[in-house]
Amino acid sequence: MRDRDDTAPHSAEDDALDLAIQALPRSQSPSRDLWPQLQAQLPPRHARRAPWAWAAAAAVAALALSVWIRPDLGPGTISAPPLAQLDSPTAEHSLLNVYESQKAAQMGALNFSNPSVGRQLAIWDGAVQQVRGALSYYPEEPRLLRQLDRLYRQQLNYLETLAMVDPQVAAYY
Amino acid sequence: MAEELQQLIRAAQAGDLASFARLHAQFVDRAYSVCLRLLVDVQKAEDACQETFIKVWQQLPQFRGDSAFATWLHRIATHTAIDLWRKDRLLRLVDEGEPDNQVASPDEGVPKDLENAIAALPRQARAVFVLFAIEGYTHAEIAALLEIAEGSSKAHYHRARTLLKESLSER
């Protein structure tokens, strides 16, 4: 850590500033654990995937997205394994661990009587299941992991918004 | 310790994610710190930090140990944060003299007065001050990084010191 140019004038205020600079911490911790999200974004290091595999993954992602946009289509044919059956620390598992606990904490702090809130969350849950189903075929596919990440963030933002507004107003959400 | 670090680096170079996770845990605070001080926004600093480690993961196979790993990683973090800082400036079309509105809240126990005063500096003066006084770059290096003249870097630095002294004496 450097305090000032050699040619800088010297004063008591300079000394005080230099001392304050020296006391600054060299490192600061982020407010949250960045690893789970980073892990989901890391490109695979193994051999390049064949073009047909990328096309298939994209098709599965598009299918998952279309079901999410059209919830009236009902449950899809792809099913995701329950969280308890995941026995390896995959990127998907890491995301689920982080977001499900955050979601549970936010849900626990809220008390909604309006069924539309439950319906809205069910739509997101359905989309999450669809993407997880696709991930069971392509476990490290970055686009699917990003989609999963986005879905959870949308849910958490929604819950956070509900928590901030007046309970009477929240009844209309 | 150094041998353990070398083993982690070699394993991560070979694609071992668990080793890379340990490298991340060891160096994330230092990388985040320079990003936060330059960008003064928690979300942007986190984004820059994530981008830094994605670059590190991608470039790690080419890392030959010519410099210390920490130095190499820190350079990537600094460049990444500066890229975001530059894009942010272009996007917002902010007056150079206008300080950022969103000031980060440092952790408990750090010298908050100075951290807040640095965060409130005009953008260019803050960037120069952080790079010179805290990160140890030379004015020539800063001039290249920020694409300004070396004399401008020195002028911004002295302006930053003057503003910081005024700010601290007011408290």
Nearest chain B alpha carbon to A91: B17
Check residue A73 and give its pLDDT: 43
Check residue A47 and give its pLDDT: 44
Q: Report chain A residues whose CB lies below 8 A from the CB of B157.
A: 5
Contact B32, B49 (CB under 8 A): yes
Indicate whether B68 and B142 sit together in one domain.
no
- Interface confidence (ipTM) of the complex: 0.78
Domain boundary, last residue among B98, B125, B140: B98
Indicate whether B54 and B137 sit together in one domain.
no
For chain A, list residues whose CB is within 8 angstroms of any CB belonging to chain B.
1-5, 8, 13-14, 16-17, 20-21, 23-32, 34-35, 37-39, 41-43, 45-46
Q: What is the CATH number of the domain that holds B91?
A: 1.10.1740.10
Q: Report chain A residues whose CB lies below 8 A from the CB of B10.
A: none
Give the HSE-up count for residue A35: Cα atoms under 13 Å, Cβ half-sphere: 20
**Which one of B33, B53, B61 has the shortest CB-CB distance to A26?**
B33
Indicate whether B112 and B60 sit together in one domain.
no
B120: pLDDT strictly greater than 80: yes
Check residue B110 and give its pLDDT: 38
Q: What is the CATH number of the domain that holds B132?
A: 1.10.10.10
B73: pLDDT strictly greater than 90: yes
The total of structural domains in chain B comes to 2
Check residue B151 and give its pLDDT: 95
Instruction: Measure A168 CA to nearest chain B CA, in Å.
Output: 31
The residue ranking higher by pLDDT, A119 or B52, is B52
Determine whether the interchain pair B165/A13 forms a contact, defined as Cβ–Cβ distance below 8 Å: yes
**Closest of B83, B77, B100 to residue B24, by C-alpha:** B77
Check residue B21 and give its pLDDT: 95
Indicate whether B117 and B160 sit together in one domain.
yes
Q: Describe the crossing of helices B139-146 and B150-170 by its angle, rounded to 10 degrees.
A: 100
Sorted by sequence, the CB contacts under 8 Å of residue B124 that are 6+ apart come out as B96, B146, B148, B156
Stretch B16-38: mean pLDDT, rounded?
Answer: 95
Indicate whether B90 and B22 sit together in one domain.
yes
What pLDDT, in 10s, does the model give residues B129-171?
A: 999 999 999 999 999 999 899 999 999 999 999 999 998 887 6
Grade residue B67 by pLDDT with cuts at 50, 70 and 90.
Answer: confident
Give the HSE-up count for residue B150: Cα atoms under 13 Å, Cβ half-sphere: 5
Nearest chain A alpha carbon to B133: A2
Check residue A74 and give its pLDDT: 42
Enumerate the domain spans of chain A. 50-77, 83-172
Domain that residue B162 falls in: 105-171
Indicate whether B42 and B9 sit together in one domain.
yes
Instruction: Measure B166 CA to nearest chain A CA, in Å.
Output: 9
Determine whether the interchain pair B50/A41 forms a contact, defined as Cβ–Cβ distance below 8 Å: yes
Predicted TM-score (pTM) of this structure: 0.57
Per-residue pLDDT of chain A (173 residues), as tens digits, is: 554 555 555 788 888 888 889 889 888 999 999 999 999 988 887 544 444 455 555 556 555 655 555 444 444 444 555 555 545 567 777 778 888 888 888 777 776 666 677 777 888 888 888 888 878 777 777 778 888 888 888 888 888 777 776 555 454 44
Domain boundary, last residue among B44, B64, B98: B98
Check residue A169 and give its pLDDT: 46
The residue ranking higher by pLDDT, A116 or B90, is A116
Domain boundary, last residue among B53, B72, B98: B98
